[in-house]
Amino acid sequence: MSYSGRGSSGDVLKVNAQEQSVFGPIATPVTVASGTVLSPDYNTVAAALAAGAKDIRIIGDTFETTDLNVTDAASIVLESNSLWDLQDNTFYGAEQADIAGNGTLRYRKGVFEQPAFISRVSILDIDVINDSVNFSPLVSASRSRVTNCIFRGDCVLGGSGVLVNGCEIQGNLVVMPDSSGVNVQQSHVINGLTIDSGTNTVLANIKFN
């Protein structure tokens, strides 16, 4: 007796932010860059997400002008050493976003403790610039992941169960007071101070310069 499955021929099996297996259509990639020289599909990631895009390729420097809302699991890839500048905007929503590539993410919050990412995110292999005036976390959602990134500025973390692996932090490592179970592991290099105001923080394999 065979089981034909629940998906259709155009579906892919995915895991949502609640760690449930779900079927969904294979996403069609869209391109994003501010300005028209590169002929992108959208000028901002916020506009692409609002249009329902789930596979987003940042092909040139992109400057967000509004908050970003992820309503379905999304993949965002920075290509061609592009800059993705969130400015003072917030990435939020109920689903997870996977962010990777060979570019740079920058954010500059002006409010103490206001995070750049409220949604659960996985951030891999990119540079992160924190230009915030105050201690403002990169992430605050539970079970977010930050892997193999270079932080130019402070690495500020909030939320619970956040896992950080193999990063180089050129500024300070800051774990915010509302954090719990933040795990900073696997061959980190920290050039500044470590300020840990969270609970149940795990620090391992860290070299201080």
Q: pLDDT tens digits for 167-207?
A: 999 999 999 998 999 999 877 788 899 999 999 999 888 88
Give the model confidence (pLDDT) of 147-167 as tens digits: 999 999 999 999 999 999 999
Nearest to 182 by CA among 143, 155, 208: 143
Please report the pLDDT score of residue 208 as a whole number. 77
At 47-61, the pLDDT tens digits run: 999 999 999 999 999
**pLDDT for position 205:** 82
Q: Which residues pair with 77 in a beta bridge?
A: 57, 100
Q: What's the confidence (pLDDT) of residue 17? A: 44
Helix (DSSP H) and strand (DSSP E) numbers for the chain: 1, 24
72 token code pair:
């379905």
Burial classification of residue 89, based on how many CB atoms lie within 10 Å of its CB (0-12 exposed, 13-18 middle, 19 or more buried): buried
User: In angstroms, rounded to a whole number, what is the distance separating the alpha carbons of residues 41 and 184?
Assistant: 37
Question: Computed from CA positions of residues 63, 46, 57, 42, in that sequence, does the dihedral angle turn out positive or negative?
Answer: negative
| Cα 179 to Cα 76: distance, rounded to the nearest angstrom | 26
Rounded CA separation 12/9 (Å): 8
Asked if residues 60 and 38 have their Cβ atoms less than 8 Å apart, the reply is yes
